[in-house]
Chains A and B, each alone.
Chain A
Amino acid sequence: MHISDGVLSLPVVAAGWIITVALLVITLRWGERDKSIAEQIPKLSIMTGAFFVASLIHVSVGPTSVHLILNGLLGVVLGVLSYPAMFIGLTLQALLFQHGGLTVLGVNTMIMGVPGLISYAVFKTGYKRNISLTALGALCGALATVLAVILLAVVLVTTGEEFVAVAKLAAVAHVPIMIVEAIVTGFVVAYLAKVKPELLPVDLGDKR
């Protein structure tokens, strides 16, 4: 769920931009460790496009349908560069589909992108502890959704106490999304491990 323009207060919007701009600078620098970012732009952009399209897939849950978020998977596959990718994806969502606002891009990127970065770290640590890849994928998918919902609630409630009930409802509404995300992310990671292991941030070695 992305926040629209006109919902949040000025301090929250400003804080969102500060965090996002700082993280963009850091992650783009970090992503430049072994290859200049200019060289990575074409590949990174096409991957961003793939995730953008994947997030247009709707899954019916009961009477409604939810769309995939895949922020956990984005983190696992793109690593630190998932943050700029998320920023671009959300910018395009806002510009092309009016999903989420423009002035709140900073906040929305933080809500989706920070859990992505955390998923990346969790995936790498979890792999070292010998957890199966599918389970790790599912864990990252679920974790990224839960963290995003927590951040969303924090952002809404910081804007005003009027939002407490709204935040609670949003959290409940995200439970089915969390389950779908976990299952789909688990299967995607299993698929990638079989078909294209270099897309995962871990060295599978003999386990292939």
Chain B
Amino acid sequence: MDYPEIDRYASLDSPIHRFDPRAKIITFVLLLISFVFVQKISVAFLALLFSLLLLLVSKLPIRFILKRVQIVLIFVLPLLIIMPLTVKGTELFSVFGISATREGLWYASLIVIRSMAAVILILTMLGSMRFDTTIKALYTLKAPKTLVQMLMFTYRYIFVIIDEFLSMWRAMSAKGFNPRTNMYGLSVMGNMVGMLIVKSYERGERVYQAMISRGYTGNPKTRTAFAMRRTDYVLSAIFVGIAILVHINTVMM
């Protein structure tokens, strides 16, 4: 179990890193929405190239990206095998009486390309600013308060809870527990999850009491110093333009 270090490289310096967080969130989400609904493979490919370009500009290390892109690939790559074999259409080739179809391959490729473009966009956006900056920007963008607050608290406590879980796990390993998937192993696992929940519940009580004693009312005030500069406007305009451009074909036809 590792810490979720999505913003490990937020301290690098690049035009993407310097881009105003609010504008970054809005424009990247627009690009994302635009890219995931592209219908043509050629356009989807261009979208992927554009995402890669942004990634390149952001100077985020390739290893950081690859490790995370892998997770999405595990989900979408099987489609490349399953779909050509199961979708009906023109035969592309056949081996041992099993035929692969052009339509299946086309559809699966479209999905793989779109999801790659999407995940690279998301990684470039999140990787280039601290996660608490992302949350602050969401505040200033007037995202629903309750949800943003929950997001912030949950994010903070994930680290604490991971530590708690790891220390429980170490204690059990030290006593010779060997996780096996049988009734006994799962019962231990169940008790451990139960203990984690009880511990977190009690921690929640303590945290809440500590917070109200310091005047928490449920409406935290944040002081933010975001300021849009000229480059931010230019970048935003370009990104919005591309998000629209990708779909101009479909609308015209």
Question: Hey, what's the 0/1 contact readout for A86-101 against B, CB within 8 Å counting as 1?
Answer: 0111011011111101
Residues on B facing A (Cβ under 8 Å): 1, 4, 6, 29, 32-33, 35-37, 68-69, 71-72, 75-76, 78-79, 82-83, 85-87, 103-104, 107, 111, 113-119, 122-123, 126, 131, 134, 146-147, 149-155, 157-158, 160-162, 165, 179, 181, 183, 186-187, 189-191, 193-201, 203-205, 207-208, 211-212, 216-219
- By a CB distance below 8 angstroms, the chain A residues around B218 are 36-39, 41
Known: A37-B146, A165-B86. A46 touches B153 (CB 8 A): yes
- By a CB distance below 8 angstroms, the chain A residues around B4 are 92, 96-97
Q: Does A169 contact B (CB under 8 A)?
A: yes
Question: Hey, what's the 0/1 contact readout for A11-38 against B, CB within 8 Å counting as 1?
Answer: 0010000000000100010000000111
- By a CB distance below 8 angstroms, the chain B residues around A187 are 186-187, 189-191, 194
A-B contact count (CB 8 A): 239
Known: A60-B179, A184-B186, A192-B194. A4 touches B219 (CB 8 A): no
- List the B residue with the shortest CB-CB distance to A7: B111
- By a CB distance below 8 angstroms, the chain A residues around B183 are 183
Residues of A in contact (CB 8 Å), total 75
Cross-chain contact of B181 among A51, A61, A89, A96 (Cβ < 8 A): A61
Q: Does A180 contact B (CB under 8 A)?
A: yes
Pick the most buried of A5, A51, A92, A199: most chain B CB atoms within 10 A of its CB. Answer: A5
| CB–CB B193/A54 < 8 A | yes
Please name the 10 residue pairs, one residue from A and one from B, whose CB atoms are nearest each other, closest first.
A38-B218, A187-B190, A6-B114, A191-B194, A45-B153, A5-B118, A165-B86, A96-B4, A50-B200, A6-B115
- List the B residue with the shortest CB-CB distance to A195: B198
Residues on A facing B (Cβ under 8 Å): 1-7, 9-10, 13, 24, 28, 36-39, 41-54, 56-57, 59-61, 68, 70, 73, 77, 84-85, 87-89, 91-92, 94-99, 101-103, 160-162, 164-166, 169, 180, 183-188, 190-192, 195-196, 199
